[in-house]
């Protein structure tokens, strides 16, 4: 019996037992200390090698950034990586802010950096053009998907886009009447999300009709952007947590209202492919014409990528345009006058894309807004090819990750002059415009550049022109700056404004 056995244990036995126990604790502690010292030695050696001996040790930069990714990831999570990188480049003049960067890194068809692999959807098994790092694989996958956004295809949705913009104007009119301040950041984001819904699967997400966020979709998508942008540097964590077949099989990944609606709409579209010609019509047509070469999951990925890449980006661009125009009333007046001179003054509703093409000053203002406040907030990262890559006198060995950051390039005084940080649309109308264009990279450049840029330019021009012609905006607090989070794309929050409808004597 247990009690009898316990009574039989002598004090000597007890002492021997506890000294045995003490010995095994000591051994365990020694083993733990050995592992910790070993790990510490490895970490310190790697850090010292990176800092002092690696072929990149001569590249100046923040000490922490030279030994670990945590410097960058900390700024990604804070949402200020664009400014932190500009500060670092100013202080250390890292060579990829060199004017040759866009040509030698983006136009040279290099492999993309491993960060992009985080974009497989729904899990690591399913490749798509954004996640593919090998240019050949990327181009093969894009072949079926990207033509959905050619200008002629996007123009087929112009009427639906106009109906969406009309809902936005209805909301603005309501606020103009009541005199209440309007949260344009929200309304513009509702609009660009609903436009993606229309253009991709002829089904808006319903934000504008409701005039409100649905099921906290925008708050959730901000958290998702922060997560994806940071975890891309440690993809194994993402695979372990979410992007694995078990999670996909169980269907418990919390994508939220927008992705759930998108996936539902794609299924509806597959069952009834004869709707308006939209992006998913194009994809299902490609799937039918390329059996064995295109797969059904590529359509889900394409829809996911459109939703992830096509809403916050355009919203930030439109907000940047309105914000800088509001702060430069002369530019606002001149753009409006240009439209009146072009015979568009009487238009109350959405301006057509064709009409916006005849407005050079408005186009210069839009271009300048994307330069000074680019919606792409992460470096476009590539890997140095075999034989290495020479930029600005520095040679980077094969495999080095090199990135061109739109904000760093667009804010470089070396490229744009002393007024690099000022909103100056005139620069695009000067004789210098062709030189400047070579360093203008809001949509990236080369084989991996943004496939949705026709749609983005169309939305920017139509919404920007329509608001400038028909409304006056005034900040509630003129001192309040633009707020934003710089994840992979930038999520902007322009300050609240009063809105007034321009009176027209028609």
Binding site for ligand HEM (CB under 6 A): 129-130, 142, 196, 305-306, 309-310, 313-314, 317, 375-376, 380, 442-444, 448-452, 455-456
Specify whether the CB–CB gap between 442 and 371 falls below 8 A.
yes
CB of 75 to ligand HEM, least distance (A): 18
Q: Compare residues 176 and 485 and give the one whose CB is closer to ligand HEM.
A: 485
Question: Residue 223 CB, nearest distance to ligand HEM (Å)?
Answer: 21
How far apart (Å, rounded) are the C-alpha atoms in residues 4 and 1? Answer: 5
| Least distance CB 211 / ligand HEM (angstroms) | 23
Which residues lie below 8 Å from residue 203, measured CB to CB, with a gap of 6+? 197, 261, 265, 268
Cβ at position 454, least distance to ligand HEM in Å = 8
d(CA 62, CA 45): 18
- 3-state SS class at 95: helix
Q: Which secondary structure element, helix H or strand E, spans residue 490, and what is its range?
A: strand 490-493
386: alpha, beta or left, given left = phi > 0 and alpha = psi -120 to 50?
Answer: beta
Task: Closer to ligand HEM by CB, 84 or 378: give it.
Answer: 378
Smallest Cα–Cα separation from 127: which of 1, 300, 246?
300
**Closest distance between ligand HEM and the C-beta of residue 375, in Å?**
4
Query: Considering beta carbons, is residue 67 or 316 the nearer one to ligand HEM?
Result: 316
Is-contact 161 467, C-beta < 8 A?
no
Secondary structure (3-state) at 420: coil
CA distance 342 to 356: 10
What is the closest distance, in whole angstroms, from the C-beta atom of residue 432 to ligand HEM in the complex?
23
Tell me, letter by letter, the H, E, C secondary structure of 114-155. HHHHHHCCCCCCCCCCCCCCCHHHHHHHHHHHHHHHCHHHHH
Cβ proximity to ligand HEM, 175 vs 233, nearer residue? 233
* Of 163 and 449, CB closest to ligand HEM: 449
Could you tell me the CA-to-CA distances from 60 to 48, 70, 394, 399 in Å, in that order? Answer: 15, 17, 12, 19
Nearer to ligand HEM, 67 or 117 (CB): 117
What is the Cα–Cα distance from 45 to 34, expressed in whole angstroms? Answer: 16
Residues in the chain, overall count = 506
- 111/384 Cα distance (integer angstroms): 8
Backbone angles phi, psi at 449, to 5 degrees: -70, 170
User: To the nearest whole angstrom, how small is the minimum distance from the Cβ of residue 134 to ligand HEM?
Assistant: 13
Nearer CB in complex with ligand HEM: 400/489: 489
DSSP assignment, residue 428? G
- Beta carbon of residue 314, minimum distance to ligand HEM (angstroms, whole number): 5
Q: Which is nearer to ligand HEM, 314 or 473 (CB)?
A: 314
Q: How much of the chain is helix, strand and coil, in % rounded to 5?
A: 60, 10, 30
Please, which residue, 176 or 381, has the CB nearer to ligand HEM? 381
Residue among 231 and 306 whose Cβ is closer to ligand HEM:
306
Residue 250 CB, nearest approach to ligand HEM (Å)? 27
By beta-carbon proximity to ligand HEM, the closer residue of 47 and 146 is 146
DSSP state of 449: S
Determine the residue with CB nearest ligand HEM. Answer: 452
Nearest to 191 by CA among 206, 175, 174, 176: 206
Q: For residue 249, what are the contacts with CB-CB under 8 A and spacing of at least 6?
A: none
User: DSSP 3-state assignment of 492?
Assistant: strand
- Smallest distance from ligand HEM to CB 281, Å: 15
CB of 56 to ligand HEM, least distance (A): 22
């Amino acid at each position: 019996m247990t009690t009898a056995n316990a009574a039989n244990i002598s004090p000597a036995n007890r002492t021997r037992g506890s000294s045995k126990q003490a010995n095994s604790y000591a051994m365990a502690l020694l083993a733990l200390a050995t592992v910790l010292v070993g790990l510490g030695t490895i970490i310190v050696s790697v850090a010292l090698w990176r800092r002092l001996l690696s072929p990149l040790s001569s590249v100046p930069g923040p000490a922490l950034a030279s030994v670990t990714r945590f410097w960058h990831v900390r700024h990604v999570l804070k949402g200020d990586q664009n400014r932190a990188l500009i500060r670092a480049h100013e202080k250390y003049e890292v060579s990829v802010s060199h004017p040759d960067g866009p040509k030698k890194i983006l136009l040279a068809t290099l492999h993309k950096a491993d960060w992009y692999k985080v974009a497989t959807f729904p899990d690591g098994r399913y490749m798509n053009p954004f996640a593919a790092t090998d240019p050949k694989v990327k181009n093969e996958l894009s072949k079926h998907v990207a033509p959905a956004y050619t200008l002629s295809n996007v123009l087929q949705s112009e009427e639906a886009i106009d109906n969406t913009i009309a809902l936005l104007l209805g909301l603005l009119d309501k606020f103009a009447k009541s005199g209440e301040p309007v949260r344009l950041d929200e309304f513009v984001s509702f609009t660009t999300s609903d436009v993606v819904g229309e253009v991709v699967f002829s089904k808006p997400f319903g934000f504008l009709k409701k005039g409100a966020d649905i099921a906290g979709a925008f708050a959730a998508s901000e958290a998702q952007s922060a997560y994806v942008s940071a975890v891309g540097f440690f993809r194994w964590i993402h695979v372990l947590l979410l992007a694995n077949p078990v999670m996909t099989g169980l269907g418990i990944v919390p994508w939220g209202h927008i992705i759930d609606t998108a996936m539902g709409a794609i299924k509806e579209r597959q069952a009834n492919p004869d709707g308006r010609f939209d992006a998913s019509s194009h994809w299902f047509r490609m799937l039918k014409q390329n059996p064995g070469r295109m797969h059904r999951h590529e359509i889900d990925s394409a829809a996911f990528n459109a939703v992830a890449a096509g809403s916050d980006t355009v919203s930030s661009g439109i907000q940047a345009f309105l914000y800088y125009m509001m702060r430069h009333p002369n530019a606002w007046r001149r753009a409006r006058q240009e439209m009146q001179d072009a015979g568009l003054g009487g238009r109350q509703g959405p301006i057509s894309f064709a009409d916006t093409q005849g407005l050079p000053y408005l186009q210069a203002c839009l271009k300048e807004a994307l330069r000074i406040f680019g919606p792409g907030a992460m470096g476009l990262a590539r890997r140095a090819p075999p034989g290495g890559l020479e930029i600005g006198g520095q040679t980077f060995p094969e495999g080095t990750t090199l990135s061109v950051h739109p904000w760093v390039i667009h804010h470089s005084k070396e490229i744009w002059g002393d007024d690099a940080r000022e909103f100056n649309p005139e620069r695009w109308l000067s004789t210098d415009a062709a030189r400047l264009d070579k360093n203008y990279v809001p949509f990236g450049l080369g084989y991996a550049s943004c496939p949705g840029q026709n749609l983005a330019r169309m939305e920017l021009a139509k919404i920007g022109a329509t608001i400038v012609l028909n409304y006056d905006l005034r900040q509630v607090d003129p001192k309040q700056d633009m707020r934003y989070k710089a994840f992979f794309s930038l999520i902007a929050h322009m300050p609240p404004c009063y809105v007034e409808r321009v009176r027209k004597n028609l």
